[in-house]
Amino acid sequence: MLLILKILYWRNNMKKHVFLLLLTFTVLFCAQAQSLGAGVSIDAQGSLKIDAPLYVIDNNPKNPKIKPAPSTMNLKVIARIYLGGNREESLEITGGIVKGRLSITVKKPDMKFFTSVATLDNIPAELFTNGADVQIGDIILKIDDEGIKSYDFFSFGLYSNYQVKLSAETERESYYIDGYGYYFTYSLGDVNISCKFNQPLENRAWYREIDIHFKPGWNITRYGEYFDNELQRVVDTQTSTLPPPNAVWVLFKI
């Protein structure tokens, strides 16, 4: 009888230990994995994962619109990290555009890439609260267009609150997205900057509002612009803001 009670006690304690062990692994995984919205997440290894519907621009000269990518679309996606100046490095990536859906995993950048501090879009160092000397890199997603000439390398990204508009070019018809764009930056440390300032740009002033807060790892920045209260100048904005549920991944068609 005593032996049976000992066995039952051991079994009950083993169940508790197994449950606690599973709970601990679950908590650790959830603490490391992070969802950034719009089908974007960061896994426990620090890789950037994107799994979301893809959209293209209907090439209609009079009324261009964004529409779902065709289910027959299968394209290779490549990823590079921009490190300032003319420096770019290839990132390891798996997946691609599969049956009209963007499904990729971009591996955490190799630390050897970060050999110098990249300027954060020409923001003067004295305007940083901290992090002016932190090494960063912006991810660039492109289509491997070998033999494919119908898609623009640099028109592949995440947008919200958008309208498709005709560009001012006269040589050929082309389009652009007027709205918020989202960019992904890998940072090696904390970066904080919150300010408003004017910056010369060629023959005009560049009015800017910055509210950026990077943590080590992947970060999202929302870019946009608006007219000031007097409707006399356009103000560019950069804000550390997650994309809303209606944000979409778009590949420009030309």
Question: Pick the residue with more confidence: 4 or 155?
Answer: 155
Going from N- to C-terminal start, the domains of the chain cover: 1-28, 38-252
Q: So what's the pLDDT on residue 10?
A: 41
User: Residue 19 — φ and ψ, nearest 5°?
Assistant: -65, -45
- What is the C-alpha to C-alpha distance for residues 92 and 71, in angstroms, rounded to an integer? 25
User: What's the pLDDT score for residue 26?
Assistant: 40
Average pLDDT, the chain: 79
Confidence band, pLDDT 50/70/90 cuts, at residue 16: very low
User: pLDDT: is 13 or 77 the higher one?
Assistant: 77
CB of 53 within 8 A of CB of 158? no
- Give the mean model confidence (pLDDT) for residues 196-222: 88
Give DSSP secondary structure letters for the chain.
Answer: -HHHHHHHHHHHHHHHHHHHHHHHHHHHHHHH-EEEETTEEE-TTS-EEEEEEEEEEE--SSS-EEEEPPTT--B-EEEEEE-STT-EEEE-EEEEEETTEEEEEEPPPPGGG--SPPPSTT--GGG-SB-TT--EEEEEEEE--TT--SEEEEEEEEEEEEEEEE-S-SSS--EEEEEEEEEEEEESS-EEEEEEEEEEETTEEEEEEEEEEE-SEEEEEEEEEEE-TTSSSEEEEEE--PPPTT-EEEEEE-
**CB of 196 within 8 A of CB of 208?**
yes
Predicted local confidence at residue 15, as pLDDT: 40
Number of C-beta neighbours around residue 16 at 10 A: 10
**pTM confidence score:** 0.79
Q: What is the mean pLDDT of residues 51-62?
A: 82
Residues 6 or more apart whose Cβ sits within 8 Å of residue 70: 56, 100
In angstroms, the CA 13 to CA 15 distance is: 5
Quick one: pLDDT band at residue 202, thresholds 50, 70, 90? confident
Hey, how many other C-beta atoms are within 10 angstroms of the C-beta on 132?
17
For the cut 50, the answer to whether the pLDDT of residue 2 exceeds it is: no
What share of the chain in percent tops pLDDT 70? 75
CA dihedral 186, 192, 194, 199 (to 10 degrees): -60
Is residue 203 predicted with pLDDT exceeding 60?
yes
Contacts of 9 by beta carbon, 8 Å cutoff, 6+ apart: none
pLDDT tier, 71 (very low <50, low <70, confident <90, very high otherwise): very high
